[in-house]
Chains A and B, each alone.
Chain A
Amino acid sequence: MIGLAKEYCGKRVIDDLSLEVEEGEIFGFLGPNGAGKSTAIRILTTLTKPTAGRALINGFDVAKQPHMVKSQFGIVQQHLSLNRELTVRENLELHARLHHLSKWDRDRRIDELLDFVDLTGFAHQLIDKISGGMKRRAMIARALIHRPRILFLDEPTVGLDAQSRRRVWDLIRGMNTEGTTVFLTTHYIDEAEMLCHRVGIIHQGRSMAIGSADQLRRNLGEIAVESKKDGRTRYCYFPDKETASKFVLEMKAADGVVMRQSNLEDVFIELTGRRVEE
């Protein structure tokens, strides 16, 4: 993405967004609801045109070469976008047909992916008859059917229970190990920390920082010190434990002081002045 911008009714929902996702990495776009994550995905997946700037996928311009771009990516949308009146297998077959897979390849690939997402036993169930977690897994299988080079996942675990969430994470790691580049959006800190090689923090349509979770933490300070004053919590960050300990000892009121390792949430709050969930 190079200087990407999108305006809706005169309001900029994405502003001067520039970043590059490396081939083979899991890249996470972390930001609260309304930060512009989904809009960025819609531009990258040819569903909407940017107001300004360019976006390239494997060298193809999404606005100028949409047809070429469409065969490069797979997408798992935030909302259920499967055809509910078709079975799991029929949904995969529809997608495979739309991507021009031959009958032989189609059947083989569907079997392979149903196995990958543990849905072989539910292949002939209508989408409406399977659980939320299974639906999400079916969407992942569908997105992978044409062997895309990059997979977009828009809030892939939103609304899932803990077990289904972990299963989806395993699938994301699994497909990445097999060579698929993953670009996901999330507003879950732990998801970004556990899954992503690099994270881009987005706030009000602007990219605030990009790097690995460790890099971002290091830039802020590895150690966080929380102290309470007048009912408010104050956060200070230090490059190491020694400096942090020295600071704590020098503090006059040491009540409710907590020293801990910093995390992505600290990075997010420092950069944006608010929590991701807000």
Chain B
Amino acid sequence: MDAYTIVWSDMMMLRRRFAKYLLTTLLSPLLYLMAFGWGLGRGMSVNGTGYLEFVVPGIIALTAMTTSFNGAGTRLNTDRLFFRSFDECLMAPISSLSLLAGKAIIGVYRGLVSSIAFLLVAMLIAPGIHIGPLFVLSLLLTCLIFSFLGVLAALLASTHEDMATFSSLILLPMTFLGGTFFSLSQLPLALKMALYLLPLTHCSMCLRAAALGGSFPWWSLMGMAAFLLAFSLASMAVLKRLSV
């Protein structure tokens, strides 16, 4: 219930500028789709699948990652360090778990709104995309992972620059290396192993397999669950350190 209160306040804010939010959040994935799907990948295929259809699940993973991270992390960072309204939450008689869950769910629903909006547009361009329970589960897990990562980064950051640095050092490389725009099967083994350390790699693989009907990488789903557990536990530990 307390977690819902935290989310409620964000919903009130988002309601006022929903159209603007949707427009800005859709711009980047649509540009990726145009540049990589239509531009660079026209006429190309990966493992027998047209590149446009191949790249759409990757861009969905990317959209979920960015919007969830920013929805939870950037907002929390601003509330904590700029508006300093986060102190009000720390002083309220609610549990750390509710506070943490509320802040993360903000990222999840923002991530879902943006991903679903992009998916609807993408399905007009690539109608072969299949939306089933595994796809929904993978999308939800992707949003959860990056929401908690955002919360963790925001709680650790001591300046706004720290958040920007985190995005540049962690999210940006993941954007291009996390199996979003290419298949890992084409890479040398050592590099492939290194890329398995990135959560986005597993998110892209699960979403792609669920959307295109390939054999589902269950171990990647387990990997996603492990990342979620690690980020949420780390966030809780940092939050406990911040509050009395």
Chain A interfacial positions (CB closer than 8 Å to B): 45-49, 62-63, 66-67, 70-71, 75, 77, 79-86, 90, 94-95, 97-100
Say yes or no: B244 contacts A66, CB within 8 Å: yes
Question: Does chain A have a CB within 8 A of B191?
Answer: no
List B contacts of A79 (CB < 8 A). 84
Residues of B within 8 A of A (CB): 2, 5, 8-9, 12-13, 16, 79, 83-85, 87-95, 243-244
Bound together, the chains give a CA A84 to CA B93 distance in angstroms of 22
User: Across the interface, do B9 and A86 meet the contact criterion of CB distance under 8 Å?
Assistant: yes
Pick from A46, A48, A77, A90: contact of B12, CB below 8 A.
Answer: A90
Nearest neighbor of A45 in chain B, beta-carbon distance: B91
Q: Which chain B residues border A83 with CB–CB below 8 Å?
A: 9, 13, 79, 83, 85
Enumerate 20 A-B pairs (CB-CB under 8 Å) in ascending A order: A46-B90, A46-B91, A47-B87, A47-B90, A47-B91, A63-B244, A71-B93, A77-B84, A77-B87, A79-B84, A81-B87, A83-B83, A85-B13, A94-B5, A95-B88, A95-B92, A98-B2, A98-B89, A98-B92, A98-B94
Chain B residues within an 8 Å CB radius of A66: 243-244
Of chain A, the residue at the smallest CB distance from B94 is A98
Q: In the bound complex, what is the Cα–Cα distance between A62 and B243 (angstroms)?
A: 11
Closest to A126 in B: B16
Q: How far is the CA of A75 from the CA of B89 in the complex (A)?
A: 12
Question: Contacts A46-B243, A86-B9, A94-B8 given: A99-B92 contact, CB under 8 Å?
Answer: yes
Give the residue name and chain of the B residue nearest to A84 (CB).
Answer: B83
What CA separation (Å) do A63 and B244 show in the bound complex? Answer: 6
Knowing A86-B12, A86-B13, say if A62 contacts B87 (CB, 8 Å).
no
Asked whether, in the complex, the Cβ of A81 is within 8 Å of the Cβ of B5, the reply is: no
Of all chain B residues, the one with the shortest Cβ separation from A100 is: B93
Q: Among the listed A62, A70, A84, which residue makes an inter-chain contact with B92, where contact means beta carbons less than 8 Å apart? A: A70
Q: How far is the CA of A66 from the CA of B92 in the complex (A)?
A: 10
**Do the beta carbons of B89 and A49 come within 8 Å of each other?**
no
Complex alpha-carbon distance, A48 and B83, angstroms: 19
Contacts of A49 in B (CB 8 A): 244
B244 A85 Cβ-Cβ under 8 A: no
Which of chain A's residues have a CB closer than 8 A to the CB of B83?
Answer: 80-81, 83-84
Q: CB-nearest residue of chain B relative to A63?
A: B244
Give every chain A residue within 8 A of B84 (Cβ-Cβ): 77, 79, 81
| Closest-CB distance, B19 to chain A (whole angstroms) | 15
CB distance from B241 to the nearest CB of A (A): 10
Q: Across the interface, name the chain A residue whose C-beta is closest to B98.
A: A98
Given the complex, which residues of A lie within 8 Å of B85, measured CB to CB? Answer: 81-83
**Residues of chain A lying within 8 A (CB to CB) of residue B243:** 46-47, 66
Please judge, given known A-B contacts A46-B244, A48-B244, A77-B84, whether A67 and B91 are in contact too, CB under 8 Å: no
Q: Which residues of A contact B94 (CB under 8 A)?
A: 98
Cα A67 to Cα B9 in complex, Å, equals 22
* Contact between B9 and A90, CB atoms less than 8 A apart: yes
- Complex formed: what's the CA distance from A98 to B95 in Å? 11
The 8 Å CB contact of A47, one of B5, B12, B244, is B244
The smallest beta-carbon distance between B96 and chain A, in angstroms, is: 10
Instruction: Identify the closest chain B residue to A72 (Cβ).
Output: B93
Residues of B within 8 A of A80 (CB): 83
Question: Which residues of chain B are near A48, meaning CB under 8 Å?
Answer: 244
Residue ID in chain B nearest A50 by CB atoms: B244
Instruction: Please indicate the chain A residues that have their CB under 8 angstroms from the CB of B89 in the complex.
Output: 98
- Decide if A99 touches B93 in the complex (CB within 8 Å): yes
> Are the CB atoms of A62 and B12 closer together than 8 Å?
no
A229, chain B: closest CB distance, angstroms: 48
How far, in angstroms, from A85 to B91 measured CA to CA in the complex?
A: 20
Cα distance, A77 to B89, chains bound together (Å): 13
Q: Closest chain A residue to B83 by CB distance? A: A84
